[in-house]
Structure 1
Amino acid sequence: MNYSTAASAALTGRILITIITHANPIGRGPSNYMVHADLSERMDGWREQLWTHQLTPVRFEIACLPFFTYGICYRDVVTIDDQHLVSAVVEKSGHQTLRVALVQHHPDRDQLHEMLHGEVVASGLAHEWLQGTYLSVDLPPGITPDPLAAILSGPAEIGGLFWEVDS
């Protein structure tokens, strides 16, 4: 954000909206429908754009791996409000999301990215990257995070990354 944009927003009382997008969602299809998840409890004015498949006029199945939205995983079914913001999770899919955030200024960041990318590809698990720094990995029902957790523990101990599992 440049200063003039921030100053203009401050003078008008508006909140700038930052939207996190998914360049390559794992469930991309010809009939995707975009909805937003409100992230303002973590950062004022932030939203995450979620790719979905519309099931009914009011129900949508998540077709991506959320990077920052907690409590929503791949194939969960959600409802939205009149502003296209997620209002509720109405059906859980049983999928979990393993999230990794590489530390931006860590001296081994590029090597960690390459190593993680190779391990995730070798695992055969669907995954998405955001700006080469944030990784979301789909853990379908019955798949544990243990093999990847073992790989992540060393880099986490040296301060190279943070990771979590969400369901």
Structure 2
Amino acid sequence: MIHADLSDRQDGWREQLWTRRLAPDRFEIACLPFFTYGICHRDIVTIDEQHLVSAVVEKSGHRTLRAALVQQHPHRDQLHELLHGKVVVSGLAHEWLQGTYLSVDLPPSTDPGPVVEILTGPQEAGALFWEIDF
């Protein structure tokens, strides 16, 4: 396990990243980052002496679709269930954090259209925010 430094957003903030060690200072990302931009599933990274990501040395071609449900939205639980069902049916690897943050792996050549389609209406209604990171 390594960490990504997110202190540029909030002092002392880090994201824990599950990895597979390839060499003493090289790791393959084995999780779906929720908050770390520019790092996706299966990317290869190096670390510093504090076990913080120091560089992405090889991109995997995977992308990460992230969605954040608005905590106070009155239909948040129903939206969570709808999104969860859609992602499960898609067969895409995904992770939830606290039932509010969704991270979906988009392997190379994956069309995100079916998932994006379900996000558009709720985003317009102010129920969630979403993005795709490379």
Deviations along 1:48-73, whole A, 9 cap, x unmatched? 00000000111100000000000000
CA distance in structure 1 between the aligned counterparts of 2:13 and 2:132, rounded to whole angstroms = 22
Which residue is equivalent to 2:115? 148
Q: Does the residue aligned with 1:154 lie in a helix, a strand or coil?
A: helix
CA distance in structure 2 between the aligned counterparts of 1:45 and 1:52, rounded to whole angstroms = 21
Q: Rg: which structure is higher?
A: 1
Q: Which amino acid aligns with 2:19?
A: T
Q: Does the residue aligned with 2:17 lie in a helix, a strand or coil?
A: strand
Q: Which amino acid aligns with 1:47?
A: R
Poorly superposed stretches of 4+, deviation over 6 Å: none
Structure 1 alignment gaps of length 5 or more: 1-33
For this pair of structures, how many residues does the alignment match?
134
For normalisation by structure 2, the TM-score amounts to 0.99
RMSD: 0.5
Matched, 1:119 2:86: yes
CA distance in structure 1 between the aligned counterparts of 2:25 and 2:52, rounded to whole angstroms = 12
Q: Which has the higher contact order (CA 8 A, sep 6+)?
A: 2
Query: How far is the alpha carbon of 1:144 from its aligned partner?
Result: 2.0
Q: Equivalences for 1:33-72 in 2 at 5 Å?
A: 34-72=1-39
Matched, 1:108 2:72: no
For normalisation by structure 1, the TM-score amounts to 0.80
The sequence identity of aligned pairs, in percent, is: 78
Deviations along 1:58-106, whole A, 9 cap, x unmatched? 1100000000000000000000000000000000000000000000000
Query: How far is the alpha carbon of 1:116 from its aligned partner?
Result: 0.3
Deviations along 1:106-138, whole A, 9 cap, x unmatched? 001000000000000000000000000000000
CA distance in structure 1 between the aligned counterparts of 2:41 and 2:111, rounded to whole angstroms = 15
